Chain A
């Protein structure tokens, strides 16, 4: 346990003013210190406080998967996560996937296979697929479909999404 976390003792409000909370979010490797309302979700903090609008607000109640991000490497729904709960956690969003101007292999595969139509669910689909590859759940199309079922696509691009993920899985890319 770090000295910092020891300072945030039990039964101590995390900020002086009840109703607000001080949070350090590490997003795509960069630290951001925020003083926010306790009610702010991770999704709203990313979009409204940090202007990272790649993460989408779909249903905003945990049903559609459009807001999927990684926290400490695991895919979660940012709309049902309080930003305050992510203090000093590592958050990864769609904005952090490309490096040196080169798209992530999954982003390229989604383009190649036409894995989207309107594109609104796509950042969530791709973040979910990034985690899916790490989880090793790409053994078959059925397995990909089952473990991607938390990401809804109203345009119905599912066959192409599966094709894109299958291709990257077979390349062994991460």
Chain B
């Protein structure tokens, strides 16, 4: 593990200038997905670490239409927010279904968006072939044994690494916006356009430039009549990543679905917005037939390896169950 200089930032502009001007510098916040990669695995080797945890980017404000969450707000703080409990119950469920209380006390919302994959091949410095670490070196996960926790959507021969966030699943379904500060000022990026599919450059994960700092997220509050839920299927009852998770929000009027928002976790190389499924659902009768058709539409062309061959069917069934719990069955 390489030595690094530790710098504590207490000014946002200075922190952005410092990291932007130094390719070997990295921000550090909660550290739960970074300290291990830096100190234990030797995957990240910054020469300078800029601790941003004392920047004034913590706190939650709400008006009638939007919840604004400072990037350094912790997962536990967001889960405890009364507006989240009242207007975004499925986001609260997703938050509390992730990690453990200790990790949620450390992990920040900005860091949750930018968490690195749990792919064991990416995290093992003894594995040379990882396109995410070293472009054009290959992908050990494709042929590796025990490839259970890998992506089937947005995945391909170059990379099947999963984005393992629970929180991002409802956030992407809600059209959350990310506020980013760079050297040329602040800009707003929809979460649906924030992540990059691996394609032929799995090492490029987001549209951020080096030195860009996530300062906040803005979550549009859905209409009060909408019903929402987060369903997480995993190997253990608690403290485990999702095999498949579904964040769904439905408005049903007179047996017809008038609004549908759907996000998938545990299956995508990026937090997955299930637009094909939403298209089937919107305007259709709230029936199990509709839910099945929606699940089928989203899982039409999964990329599987032997270890993930079970996932498309598990994803279909989880989608149908999540929708049935919200919308019922009017057949």
Residue ranges of A at the interface with B (Cβ–Cβ < 8 Å): 5, 8-14, 18-19, 21, 37-39, 41, 60-62, 65, 68, 74-77, 80-82, 84-85, 87, 128, 131-132, 135, 145-147, 149-151
Within 8 Å of chain A (Cβ to Cβ): is B66? no
Residue ranges of B at the interface with A (Cβ–Cβ < 8 Å): 1, 3-11, 14-15, 17-18, 28, 31-32, 35-36, 38-40, 49, 51, 53-54, 76, 99-103, 105-106, 237-239
From the candidates B14, B99, B106, name the one contacting A81 in the complex (CB within 8 A). B106
CA gap between A62 and B7 in the complex, in Å: 23
Q: A77, B6: Cβ atoms under 8 Å?
A: no
Q: A9, B3: Cβ atoms under 8 Å?
A: no
CA gap between A147 and B79 in the complex, in Å: 13
CA gap between A82 and B76 in the complex, in Å: 20
Q: B35, A82: Cβ atoms under 8 Å?
A: yes
CA gap between A62 and B3 in the complex, in Å: 21
User: Smallest Cβ distance from B180 to chain A, in angstroms?
Assistant: 19
Q: B6, A81: Cβ atoms under 8 Å?
A: no
- Given known A10-B10, A61-B40, contact A80–B5 (CB-CB < 8 A): no
Q: Could you list some 13 contacts between A and B, CB below 8 A?
A: A8-B8, A11-B14, A18-B5, A38-B49, A39-B1, A62-B103, A80-B103, A87-B8, A128-B102, A131-B101, A146-B238, A150-B99, A150-B102
Q: B7, A128: Cβ atoms under 8 Å?
A: no
Residue of B nearest to A127 (CB): B102
CA gap between A136 and B38 in the complex, in Å: 35
CA gap between A75 and B76 in the complex, in Å: 11
Most chain B C-beta atoms within 10 Å of own C-beta, residue among A62, A132, A151: A62
Q: A41, B39: Cβ atoms under 8 Å?
A: yes
- Given known A150-B100, A150-B102, contact A14–B35 (CB-CB < 8 A): no
Residue of B nearest to A83 (CB): B6
What residues of A have a CB within 8 angstroms of the CB of B14 in the complex?
A: 9-11
CA gap between A13 and B8 in the complex, in Å: 7
- Given known A10-B11, A19-B3, contact A74–B105 (CB-CB < 8 A): yes
- Given known A62-B32, A85-B31, contact A77–B106 (CB-CB < 8 A): yes
What residues of A have a CB within 8 angstroms of the CB of B5 in the complex?
A: 13, 18-19, 38
CA gap between A7 and B14 in the complex, in Å: 15
What residues of B have a CB within 8 angstroms of the CB of A150 in the complex?
A: 99-103, 239
Residue of B nearest to A132 (CB): B101
Q: B35, A41: Cβ atoms under 8 Å?
A: yes
Q: B32, A19: Cβ atoms under 8 Å?
A: no
Q: A84, B100: Cβ atoms under 8 Å?
A: no
